[in-house]
Structure formats: structure tokens, C-alpha cells
Amino acid sequence: MPSEAGLIRGLEGVVAAATRLCDLDGAQGRLAYNGYDIADLARHAQFEEVVWLLWHGELPTPAELHGLRTELTEARPLSPLLLRVFRLLPKEMHPMRVLQAALALLGALDPDGEDNSAEANRRKAVRLVAQMATVTAAFHRVRQGKRPVPLRPELSHAANFLYMVAGRKPKAVNVRAFDAALVLYAEHEFNASTFTARVVASTLADMHSAVSGALGALKGPLHGGAGEAVMRTLEEIGTPDRAETFTRQALAEKRRLMGFGHRVYKAGDPRAAILRGLAEKACRQSGEGVWFETAGRLHEAVNREKGLIPNVDFYSAPLFRALGLPVDLFVPVIAVSRVAGWTANILEQHADNRLIRPRAEYVGTPPRPFRPLAARS
């Protein structure tokens, strides 16, 4: 409830701007990008088609899609400077911090770095979508003492990422599941990281700086960080039959159960339902059904004990595990996808900008005279 000054904690329910990118109906559990329902996009579109949709408001023609794929292929390779930096970084450095560090370097090296024109922002958006995937995969290879895997132009964005991480061509069924996950994570209205990107962009800071801010917000466990935290919880539980006891004990200890609850969705996160199906199939095929079973039993127990529903991060965890991704890459993968939405929001913000600067309700000490140091004991 708002205070007398209209203060609403966490800006819950506050409509901060108009957007054409994403229509999110929390009561109905509905999500659409530029009018296309998320279930249709996850089933029928590749990530590159959704990237184009978010940037241009229409699904691409075959020629437009080919052109975007070519631009992404050309933009994917990293400067040798970044690879040299990766070799200097501590191997145990969290890949989200590596992404944050890389963003600063990518911005410094980008020929359009400080140019906020629509054309320059469009070029930078392509480079950011391409290069955040390469940064994530390349650091993972370097921290294992291996050489980064060069991209394969004939592979899609999703397939290239899995290939650059694992160093071997991914199975088509895994590429399809991963591509759908990238589509599902691509955009989500004014979530904390996207809103951060808009706040930074509203100061007319450059696109890389706005994405850097978004990365910091995404890292938090109440937001994208939950993606990794869910897998840690499933590992802590270990087997399906222990989910029940774990849930009762965790709730008794007032623990936040990552992957459950949502600020907007109260009737279910439509993405979670799709990811559940993808996770079940991938876990069965990879022989890691234990993670899907454990997640399923945890879902039942938490829903029964606390009435909470899984969000997008709950079933993406067993899915990413079944696809062979290391757990500490789960949140960077979310960033690899969400950078599409972040850049689309930055383009939208710059197209009709006004500095985002809300007010605060002062509840501190009333006015008082200054007390000199000598009078303070």
C-alpha cells in the first residue's frame, strides 16, 4: 500500500513508462513480445528471429534473417586483447564478474563506443548479442586451460554457443531446447535488470554502460542469480525422496527458496511451464532424470506448503544441467539471452528519452543547527 507521500516499496505495480516490446499479464500468466505469444515464439522461432523482432517490431523475412546471421557471425570473434585478459584473470573468478569486466573492455574497444545514434546503437546491439556469448564461452575454455573454440559460421547462435563451450558439435535436440530457452529469457518488460539498463540509458550513457548496469542487477539472487541458486538447491537436496523433508526444514528456517515466487506472475509463469517440458525431455535423454525428478518433488512440496509457484529460473536449472552447462554459467547464459531485451529497451529509451529520476519520501531527522566538532563528545 502507498504511504501518504505515495511511496510504494519496490515500486510494486508502478507503471514507469510505455513500451512496444513486451506485454506481460501477471494475472492471466500471459507473455508476448510485440504481440507474439511466448509459447508460439518458443515453439516456432529461433533466437535470432526474436532478436530481430525485439529490435524492429516485426519477425524478419528470410533475407533479413540471413543478414542478421551474417552480422552476428562477423561480430562474434573477440579482440585478442580480451583473450589475453582472460588468461590473466583468476580461474575461480565468477563468470558473471568476467562478463562485467569484459563489458567495460568491449565498450572501450567498440568503434561506436560513445555514439548514441540509432545507427550506432543498432551496430552495437549486434556486437553485444554476438560477443557476450563468445565472452562467456571463451573464458570457460581459458579457465580450463584450453584454447577458445573458434565459431562455426554455419551454426545458429544457440548451436555456436553450445559448440564454443563444449568444443564439440551439439546434438540437434539439445540445440532446439537451448534455442527455446534463449527465446524464453530474451525479454521481460521492466524486470530489475532491464529497468536498470533503462535508467542508465536515460542519462544518455552509452549502450555498453547500460548493459553493464543491467549485468550487475541480474547477478542478484532475487533476480537472475536465482538461476544458479536453484541448481545449488537441487544439489543440496540430492535425491527426489529428500525434497519433502528439505522443504519443511527450509520453510521452518524461513529460507527463501530460489526459483519460486514472482513479483508480477500470480497465476503461474508461462515460461516455467514450457521449460518444464524442455527440462523433462533433456534430463531423460542425458540420463540425468534425477534432477528433473528432484525439481518436480520440490515443486510439489513448496506449492503445497507455501502456495508458491515456480518462476522461469526453476526448470531452466535442470535443463541447463542436462545440456552439459557448468552451473556457474547458468546466470551468464541468462545474460546472453536477455541482452536482446536490454538492447531493445535501450534503443526504445534513446528513441524517446527523458531522464529517469524518481523522488524519495524523507523520513529522517527534522532540521537542526550544526554542532561544531569541539561540542561533540
The whole-angstrom separation of Cα 114 and Cα 107 is 8
Which neighbouring-strand residues pair with 25?
A: 30
**Active-site amino acid positions:** 262, 313
Q: Is 299 in the site for ligand SDX (CB under 6 A)?
A: no
Please pick, from the candidates 109, 222, 273, 356, the single residue that binds ligand SDX as defined by CB under 6 A.
222
Q: Which stretch binds ligand SDX (CB under 6 A): 56-64, 175-183, 292-300, 305-313?
A: 305-313
Torsions phi, psi of 58, nearest 5? -135, 150
Q: Is 76 in the site for ligand SDX (CB under 6 A)?
A: no
Q: Which stretch binds ligand SDX (CB under 6 A): 54-62, 89-97, 209-217, 309-317?
A: 309-317
Q: With beta carbons less than 8 A apart as the criterion, state whether 279 and 234 touch.
A: no
Q: Is 262 in the site for ligand SDX (CB under 6 A)?
A: yes
Q: With beta carbons less than 8 A apart as the criterion, state whether 47 and 129 touch.
A: no
Whose Cβ is closer to ligand SDX: residue 109's or residue 308's? 308
253: its cell numbers: 528456517
Residues 6 or more apart whose CB falls under 8 angstroms from that of 11 comprise: 358
Please pick, from the candidates 134, 311, 337, 343, the single residue that binds ligand SDX as defined by CB under 6 A.
311
Q: Is 208 in the site for ligand SDX (CB under 6 A)?
A: no
Residues 6 or more apart whose CB falls under 8 angstroms from that of 151 comprise: 73, 76, 77, 134, 160, 163, 164
Q: Is 261 in the site for ligand SDX (CB under 6 A)?
A: yes
Tell me which residues in 263-282 interact with ligand SDX (CB under 6 A): 263
Q: Which stretch binds ligand SDX (CB under 6 A): 156-164, 167-175, 198-206, 221-229?
A: 221-229
Q: Is 132 in the site for ligand SDX (CB under 6 A)?
A: no
- Detail the DSSP E strand segments found in the chain: 22-25, 30-33, 36-37
DSSP state letters, 246-259: HHHHHHHTT---TT
Helix (H, G, I), strand (E, B) or coil at 33: strand
Q: How far is the CB of 168 from ligand SDX (least distance, A)?
A: 30
Tell me which residues in 180-199 interact with ligand SDX (CB under 6 A): 188, 191
Q: Which stretch binds ligand SDX (CB under 6 A): 28-36, 92-100, 123-131, 253-261?
A: 253-261
Q: Is 94 in the site for ligand SDX (CB under 6 A)?
A: no
Q: Is 10 in the site for ligand SDX (CB under 6 A)?
A: yes
Q: Which stretch binds ligand SDX (CB under 6 A): 153-161, 234-242, 251-259, 346-354?
A: 251-259
The whole-angstrom separation of Cα 279 and Cα 276 is 5
Beta strands 36-37 and 22-25 are: unpaired
Q: Is 312 in the site for ligand SDX (CB under 6 A)?
A: yes
Q: Is 343 in the site for ligand SDX (CB under 6 A)?
A: no
End-to-end CA distance of the chain: 42
Among 230, 148, 187, smallest CA distance to 50 is for 187
Please pick, from the candidates 155, 258, 272, 331, the single residue that binds ligand SDX as defined by CB under 6 A.
258
Q: With beta carbons less than 8 A apart as the criterion, state whether 309 and 268 touch.
A: yes
Q: How far is the CB of 161 from ligand SDX (least distance, A)?
A: 19
Residues 6 or more apart whose CB falls under 8 angstroms from that of 312 comprise: 184, 185, 188, 269, 271, 272, 275
Q: How far out from the chain centre does Cα 203 lie?
A: 23
Please pick, from the candidates 48, 179, 313, 348, the single residue that binds ligand SDX as defined by CB under 6 A.
313
The number of residues that bind ligand SDX (CB under 6 A) is: 19
Q: How far is the CB of 336 from ligand SDX (least distance, A)?
A: 14
Please pick, from the candidates 84, 256, 284, 304, the single residue that binds ligand SDX as defined by CB under 6 A.
256
Q: Is 11 in the site for ligand SDX (CB under 6 A)?
A: no
Torsions phi, psi of 260, nearest 5? -120, 150
Interface residues toward ligand SDX, by CB under 6 A: 10, 188, 191, 222-224, 226, 256-263, 308, 311-313
